[in-house]
Amino acid sequence: MSQISRRQAMAVLGALGFGATAAACAGPGGSTAPGGATGPAAPATGDITGRVSFAHWRGEDKAVFDELIKRFAAKNSGVEVVQDISTSNDYNAQGLQKVRGAAIGDAFATFRGAQFNNFSEAGIYTELKNSKAVGNYQKGLLTAGQSGDSQLGLPYQVVFPMPMANTDLFNKAGAELTPKDWDAFLGMCEKLAASGVVPISWPGGDVGNGGQLFNCMIANNAPVDDMCSQIEQGELKCTDDWFIKMLNQYKDLVPYLQPNATGTAVEPAQNLFSQGKAAMLATGSYHIAAVRNLGATFPIELVFPNTSTDGNAKFEGVYNATFILGVNSASKNQAASAAWIDFLSEPENAGYYANETAQHVSVKDVEYTNADLKRLSPWLDKKTALAARFQFQNLDVRNAVEASATAVISGSSPEQAAEAAQKIVDERL
């Protein structure tokens, strides 16, 4: 073997270093968004075979998806679907980078709002406007997956980010489940407190789950329906009267929350509710399965904290259409990925998913056999507002605005909390 001289060794190392430097200096944004000027293309067609990676964040639904995957594979021999699951927080933060090259996520889901918009902007979604699946969805619920004229994604789940109620405790306390205005809501809380339970279990120590209450509190207080977009754009302000009024209503809730609510994580909050120590869990219907797993056997209803002060509320509740399914434009196996999305969107399979995970779906003609879903189905026809917090495109703005509510519950004055939030919004205008 010939020996290498010191000079040669240095030359090799130098070349390596130069290569690394040159590679590092290649400009950012090296990848272009597929689709270009003509807009996103429909998924490629072909044989439904090969491996499909399905990226999402619903770890709790893994077994249900496994069963659906089995059924899909039985129908299409030679196809294999594997789930790539991240935690919801990680998926929210890194989903785009993970899915972008399609190393994972031939088919994937996104959260409504900022994540869906970023995925759309990055050209990751293909066009599903003419897909077989789109016809299976309720038309009004498809908007969350639209971008301009394109139907990029199919919002699969319908959740109600409103407090869940233990109706046994409500009956015992003689509290009504449908307060007509804010005073009635506080009266309801008072009755529950008087019966010896914590009226509201609120995970104030968990930004994501604690923030769901914000959807309810802002829905009837804001002067417009796109209030969060307008706050972000500087057209509305956290220091506006309506916002301060909302923060004052948060302050009204303090006596009815569990002690030290701002330090409570989501699991202990769920425990308080499932053990019958708290009458409401202020997160949303997406936690039904979790509290059932914790042993809750009581009937569960939803309660809308109606912030209206004159009884003329515009909305009777809030909902969110999320888990927006899509086919990756960079996927090498778009045909099988699209077939998987079509399969999930069939009423029978969507029904299986819904009933097993205790979550409503946007797919039409689904028969809900799950007792909780059956009981909550009337909410699908009520006048509900689309959850406002997902209008925020900038997560720092969203967190700052929602943190103003937490600050009020911690003891800050509504005015101070609003100013602190507005300062952060202003910095990002």
Partner 1 sequence: MSTHTGMAAKRKAPENTIEAASKKRRSPTRVNPALYLFPLPAVAIIAFFLVMPTLQAFQYAVTDWNGFSAAFNYVGVDNFVRAFTKDSLFTNALTNNLKFVLLVVIAQTVFSLLLALLLTKNSRGNVVLRALFFFPTILSSVSVAFIWKFIYDPNFGLANSALGAIGLEGLQGSYLGNNSQALYWVAVTQVWFHAGQMMVVYIAGLQSIPRELYEAAEMDGANKWQQFKSITWPFVAPATSIVVAYTTVQSFKAFDLILGIAGNPPKGSLDILSTRIYSTFANSEFGYAAAQSIIFMGMIALVTWLQRRLLRLTPKGE
Chain contacts with partner 1 (rule: CB under 8 A):
1, 3-6, 8-10, 12-13, 16-17, 19-21, 23-25, 27-33, 89-90, 92-94, 96-97, 100, 118, 121-122, 204-208, 258-265, 268, 271-272, 394-396, 399-400, 403, 406-407, 410, 423-424, 427
Q: Output the smallest distance, CB 426 to partner 1, in A.
A: 9
Measured distance CA(95)–CA(349) in Å, rounded: 25
List the Cα angle 305/310/312 in 5-degree steps.
Answer: 75
Q: For partner 1, which is the closer residue by CB, 203 or 317?
A: 203
User: What Rg value do the Cα atoms of the chain yield, rounded?
Assistant: 24
Residues 258 and 264 sit within 8 Å (Cβ to Cβ): yes
Q: Output the smallest distance, CB 29 to partner 1, in A.
A: 5
Residues 95 and 5 sit within 8 Å (Cβ to Cβ): no
Q: For partner 1, which is the closer residue by CB, 44 or 395?
A: 395
Q: Tell me if residue 391 falls in helix, strand or coil.
A: helix
Q: Output the smallest distance, CB 233 to partner 1, in A.
A: 16
Give residue 159's identity as a one-letter amino acid code. V
Q: For partner 1, which is the closer residue by CB, 3 or 130?
A: 3
Q: Output the smallest distance, CB 330 to partner 1, in A.
A: 12
Q: Output the smallest distance, CB 164 to partner 1, in A.
A: 18
**For 271-297, b where at least 16 C-beta lie within 10 A, e where not — what string?**
bbbbebebbbbbbbbbbbbbbbeeebe
Q: Is the dihedral of CA 32, 33, 39, 41 positive or negative?
A: positive
Q: For partner 1, which is the closer residue by CB, 134 or 207?
A: 207
Q: Output the smallest distance, CB 315 to partner 1, in A.
A: 28
Q: Output the smallest distance, CB 316 to partner 1, in A.
A: 31
Write down the residue that tokens 């060794």 correspond to. 9
Residues 109 and 359 sit within 8 Å (Cβ to Cβ): no
Closest CA to 371 of 301, 314, 317, 418: 301
Give whole-number Cα distances, 309 to 131, 183, 314, in Å: 46, 7, 12
Q: For partner 1, which is the closer residue by CB, 35 or 317?
A: 35
Q: For partner 1, which is the closer residue by CB, 32 or 312?
A: 32
Q: Which two tokens stand for residue 260?
A: 């030290």
Q: For partner 1, which is the closer residue by CB, 100 or 389?
A: 100
HSE on the CB side for 63, CA within 13 Å?
4
